[in-house]
Amino acid sequence: MAPPIMVTMKQTEPVTVAFVSMKGPYSQISEAFGKLYGWIGRKDFVPSGPPLGIYHDSPGQVAEDQLTWELCSPISGDVPPSTPGADALGVKRLEPVQVAATTHRGPFSAVGGTYEALAAWVAENGYQVNGPAQEVYLSNPGDTPPKELVTEVRFPVTKA
């Protein structure tokens, strides 16, 4: 049974993000963030909020090397969208969406239980997931011990 969680229903804000599209295991996340933030620096973009991940598949439902996901960094200013090139880097606008959100505290390796609890809450409360899972990284793993990491986990939802 999933542990009890506190869930908040909210509307996300529209935001322009620099992003990198990825395929493969999540063990590439650190390297992908390095690639994304290096590109942001070379483009002179200004990060303007916590980074987020958008996860189109779930481990266990597709092979690890077939997982598709994106890492995003909100950026400030009037930056036009750009389609990713061979480097898989681009800029896009994330439109507002209603989400069911909860907070995961602890290492990323333990986030699966939070996903299970949030999915159960969504189903028990008459919602259905209608988009890819998102994680908003509220602490920096480079200077935060794993047991103290704070991540917002959210599912875009609609009433069932």
Region 38-42: mean pLDDT is 98
Neighbours of 112 (CB within 10 A): 13
Q: What span, in angstroms and rounded, lies between the C-alpha atoms of 116 and 125?
A: 14
Q: pLDDT for 83-133, tens place per residue?
A: 999 999 999 999 999 999 999 999 999 999 999 999 999 999 999 999 999
pLDDT tier at 140, thresholds 50, 70, 90: very high
Strands 89-94 and 15-23: antiparallel
pTM above threshold 0.85: yes
pLDDT at 59: 85
pLDDT at 114: 96
Q: What is the set of domains in the chain, with CATH numbers?
A: 8-159 (3.20.80.10)
pLDDT at 1: 53
